[in-house]
């Protein structure tokens, strides 16, 4: 079986224009994402998580190393990567959900237009003919229903929606072209804890129903544990630990992973040890 | 002569009330029957909100976005927009803040009541070195030489464990990381030794490891200064980490108040039960359906 993504010794170095200091965002990273696997990429901000995701989406080219999509190299040197992408219908097969739906949705477009936009591409995947206007409307209604939005949400604008609803729109847009692979960059970290549960439920259901391959980036190991069966831990652009989620969650080997796990805020189990955090002054009664 | 100088403070200063015999009976902050409406359609953002905050007490204000958490903090700071209509009372050390002249509120802000905002990138001026911004907080309220002020700023930066505080003070906001920016804001808030710090989602924009560090710093700074804190968050786990007491706001009204331990053990309002269930992500089986707040509001949650 061919892997969906094969990341082979990839480095990504950013050279700021007026600075001599190069930023090594990814340092010799290798990773294989198999079909229907659900990968979580965790690490602090600046660890290279988002850079890795952008490379998988073909939005950037690596400085060195190679990334293959289903066995074929994604970014052959000297070739326009966007062309290569569209030739193989990759644009519609690989879809992205971003962290902040406030900035990833165009404020001047209605929800319906946002969700239908990926269906209007000129070069479509082989087999899927370009959709007519009524077909696009039908598909839009279908995916909006799938993410739990009512049909009349299509006429609304993003600013009329709550944060959770906006993230549902972003997910609907990603699902509209019927992708096989979903890349998600911190899809719930801009949301309220109470809304987070709804979106996690939605993602869990959709990934299972559609048999999606998922690559999810998050700083929160709790979120990754819930959605992903495999984890790669990134620190300073290097993968320091990979493995099945349960194993890494239960027995992290690297001190850095242990630190990430310990930082996830948790509610005290039943009754918190009240002596530990005594008020500096007596409470009013 | 001395009495005369005392009387002629800056114009617009609030009359200081004589402290009552028992200090404990006077709350540091007390809101009574606070109502806030916005805009032409008179959308009500706060409904009959009442609470008391004792000196040194840490009170968590928890609720969904749009529930009225930030409106509460802005009302205390006197920073609500002109389109807001407010009734009720907010007293700080017995002095009424609602309807107080702007000058009086300005004298209070940053000196007795400080605020730490959610997004340090927007709270800091991008065109100004952060040391100068912090110094502004000092020099608005006291006449001090710039050298003395700078020394204080650098000390404050060192207290929040900013590495190389001299260098940080000369940096622009974009040159700092999110965690460093939030520590700059915290240090600035602490500079005038305020008696009350309002924290509006201070760690929501940070990732978990940085969040843990900033919460730790806040915890220690509050303990060291003895300042009271109104801590606003949507995350029960974060609030439980800093506060002794929690107030749950739902749709503009306070639905439940109490010590953290009691609230977690015996939540009475379905919304609170939903929040607790949603915050216990680590206890759910991976991939299982997570309980949501709506389940509890509909009465289908366990």
Contact A265 B238 (CB under 8 A): yes
pLDDT of the residue at B216: 92
| Portion of chain A with pLDDT greater than 90, in percent | 52
Nearest-neighbour CA in chain B from A192: distance (Å): 6
Q: What are phi and psi of B212, to 5 degrees?
A: -60, -40
| Stretch among A85-89, A108-112, B181-185, B246-250 having the lowest mean pLDDT | A85-89
- pLDDT of residue A255 exceeding 90, the answer is yes
Going by pLDDT thresholds of 50, 70 and 90, the confidence category of residue A278 is very low
CA angle B177, B195, B140 (to 5 degrees): 70
Number of residues written out for chain A: 285
Task: Taking residues B153-167, report their average pLDDT.
Answer: 92
Going by pLDDT thresholds of 50, 70 and 90, the confidence category of residue B49 is very high
A45, A260, A277: residue with CB nearest B178 = A45
Task: Taking residues B172-184, report their average pLDDT.
Answer: 91
CA-based radius of gyration for chain B: 20
| Stretch among A124-138, A203-217, A242-256 having the lowest mean pLDDT | A124-138
B265 shares contact with chain A (CB less than 8 Å) = yes
Going by pLDDT thresholds of 50, 70 and 90, the confidence category of residue A209 is very high
Spatial contact of A237 and A43, defined as CB atoms under 8 Å apart: no
ipTM of this predicted structure:
0.77
pLDDT of the residue at A272: 45
Task: Taking residues B92-96, report their average pLDDT.
Answer: 94
- pLDDT of residue B107 exceeding 80, the answer is yes
Write out chain A residues lying below 8 Å of B280, CB-based.
267
Q: What residue ranges of chain B are covered by domains with CATH 3.40.50.300?
A: 28-266
pLDDT of the residue at B27: 93
Helix (H/G/I), strand (E/B), else coil: A191: coil
pLDDT of the residue at B25: 66
| Stretch among B32-36, B125-129, B208-212, B256-260 having the lowest mean pLDDT | B208-212
Write out chain A residues lying below 8 Å of B52, CB-based.
284
- pLDDT of residue B276 exceeding 80, the answer is yes
How confident is the model over A68-125, as pLDDT tens digits?
888 888 765 445 555 555 555 677 789 999 888 878 899 999 999 999 988 876 555 4
Give the mean pLDDT of chain A.
Answer: 84
Rounded distance between C-alpha atoms, residue A10 and residue B91, angstroms: 60
Domain ranges of chain A: 5-263
Task: Taking residues B147-163, report their average pLDDT.
Answer: 92
pLDDT of the residue at B154: 95
Question: Could you say which architecture CATH assigns to the domain A5-263?
Answer: 3-Layer(aba) Sandwich (3.40)
Spatial contact of B215 and B141, defined as CB atoms under 8 Å apart: no
- pLDDT of residue B218 exceeding 80, the answer is yes
- pLDDT of residue B170 exceeding 90, the answer is yes
How confident is the model over A232-244, as pLDDT tens digits?
999 999 999 999 9
Write out chain B residues lying below 8 Å of A262, CB-based.
212
- pLDDT of residue A276 exceeding 80, the answer is no
- pLDDT of residue B16 exceeding 80, the answer is no
DSSP chain B: -HHHHHHS-STTPPPPPPPPS-GGGS-SEEEEEEEEEETTTTEEEEEEEEEEE-TT-EEEEE--TTSSHHHHHHHHHT---TTEEEEEEEEETTEE-TT--HHHHHHHBTTTEEEE-S-HHHHS-TTS-HHHHHHHHHHTTS---HHHHHHHHHHHHHHTT-SSHHHHHTS-GGGS-HHHHHHHHHHHHHTT--SEEEEESTTTTS-HHHHHHHHHHHHHHHHHH--EEEEEES-HHHHHHH-SEEEEEETTEEEEEEEHHHHHHS--SHHHHHHHHHH-GGGSPTTSPPP-HHHHHHT---
Contact B245 A277 (CB under 8 A): no
Nearest CA in chain B to A219: B207
Rounded distance between C-alpha atoms, residue A161 and residue A40, angstroms: 28
Q: Which of B287, B291, B297, B301 to mutate to test the interface with A (most CBs of A within 10 A)?
A: B287
How close are the terminal C-alpha atoms of chain A, in Å? 68
How confident is the model over B96-106, as pLDDT tens digits?
999 999 999 99
pLDDT of the residue at B11: 42
Q: Which CATH superfamily is domain B28-266 in?
A: P-loop containing nucleotide triphosphate hydrolases (3.40.50.300)
How confident is the model over B254-272, as pLDDT tens digits?
999 999 999 999 999 999 9
| Portion of chain B with pLDDT greater than 90, in percent | 62
Q: Which of A248, A267, A269, A270 to mutate to test the interface with B (most CBs of B within 10 A)?
A: A267
A264, A270, A282: residue with CB nearest B208 = A264
- pLDDT of residue B8 exceeding 70, the answer is no
Nearest CA in chain A to B260: A272
């Amino acid at each position: 079986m061919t892997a969906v993504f094969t990341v082979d010794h990839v480095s990504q170095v950013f050279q700021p224009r007026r600075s001599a200091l190069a930023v090594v965002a990814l340092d010799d990273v290798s990773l294989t994402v198999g079909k229907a696997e659900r990968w979580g990429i965790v690490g602090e901000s600046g660890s290279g998580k988002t850079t890795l995701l952008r490379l998988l989406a073909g939005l950037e080219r690596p400085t060195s190393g190679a990334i293959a999509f289903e066995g074929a190299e994604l970014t052959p040197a000297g070739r326009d990567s966007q062309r290569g992408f569209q030739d193989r219908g990759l644009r519609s097969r690989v879809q992205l959900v971003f962290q902040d739906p406030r900035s990833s949705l165009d404020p001047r477009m209605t929800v319906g237009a946002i969700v239908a936009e990926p269906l209007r591409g000129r070069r479509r995947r082989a087999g899927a003919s370009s959709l007519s206007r009524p077909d696009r409307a039908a598909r839009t209604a279908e995916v909006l229903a799938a993410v739990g939005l009512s049909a009349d949400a299509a006429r609304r604008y993003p600013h009329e929606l709550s944060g959770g609803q906006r993230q549902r729109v972003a997910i609907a847009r990603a699902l509209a072209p019927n992708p096989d692979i979903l890349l998600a960059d911190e899809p719930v970290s801009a949301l309220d804890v109470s809304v987070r549960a709804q979106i996690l439920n939605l993602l869990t259901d959709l990934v299972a129903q559609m048999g999606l391959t998922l690559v999810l980036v998050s700083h929160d190991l709790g979120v990754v544990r819930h959605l992903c069966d495999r984890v790669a831990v990134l620190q300073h652009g290097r993968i320091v630990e990979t493995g099945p989620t349960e194993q890494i969650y239960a027995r992290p080997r690297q001190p850095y992973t242990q630190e990430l796990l310990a930082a996830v805020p948790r509610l005290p189990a039943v009754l918190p040890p009240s002596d530990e955090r005594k008020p500096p002054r007596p409470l009013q009664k | 002569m001395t009495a005369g100088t005392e009387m002629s403070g800056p114009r617009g200063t609030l009359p200081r009330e004589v402290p009552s015999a028992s200090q404990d009976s006077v709350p540091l902050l007390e809101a009574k029957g606070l109502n806030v409406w916005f805009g032409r359609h008179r959308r009500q953002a706060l409904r009959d909100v009442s609470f008391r905050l004792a000196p040194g007490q840490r009170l968590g204000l928890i609720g969904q976005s749009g529930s009225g958490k930030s409106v509460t903090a802005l009302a205390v700071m006197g920073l609500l927009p002109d389109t807001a209509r407010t009734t009720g009372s907010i007293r700080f050390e017995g002095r009424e803040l609602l309807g107080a002249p702007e000058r009086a509120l300005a004298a209070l802000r940053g000196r007795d009541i400080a605020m730490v905002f959610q997004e340090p990138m927007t709270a800091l001026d991008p065109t100004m070195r952060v040391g100068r911004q912090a110094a502004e907080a000092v020099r608005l309220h006291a006449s001090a030489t710039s050298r003395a002020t700078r020394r204080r700023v650098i000390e404050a930066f060192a207290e929040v464990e900013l590495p190389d505080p001299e260098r940080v003070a000369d940096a622009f906001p974009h040159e700092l990381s999110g965690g460093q920016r939030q520590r700059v804001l915290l240090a600035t808030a602490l500079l005038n030794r305020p008696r009350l710090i309002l924290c509006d989602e201070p760690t929501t924009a940070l990732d978990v490891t940085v969040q843990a560090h900033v919460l730790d710093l806040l915890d220690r700074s509050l303990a060291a200064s003895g300042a009271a804190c109104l801590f606003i968050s949507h995350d029960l786990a974060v609030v439980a980490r800093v506060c002794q007491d929690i107030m749950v706001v739902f749709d503009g009204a306070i639905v439940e108040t109490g010590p953290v331990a009691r609230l977690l053990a015996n939540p009475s309002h379905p919304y609170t039960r939903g929040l607790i269930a949603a915050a216990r992500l680590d206890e759910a089986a991976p991939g299982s359906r997570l309980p949501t707040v709506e389940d509890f509001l509909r009465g289908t949650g366990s």
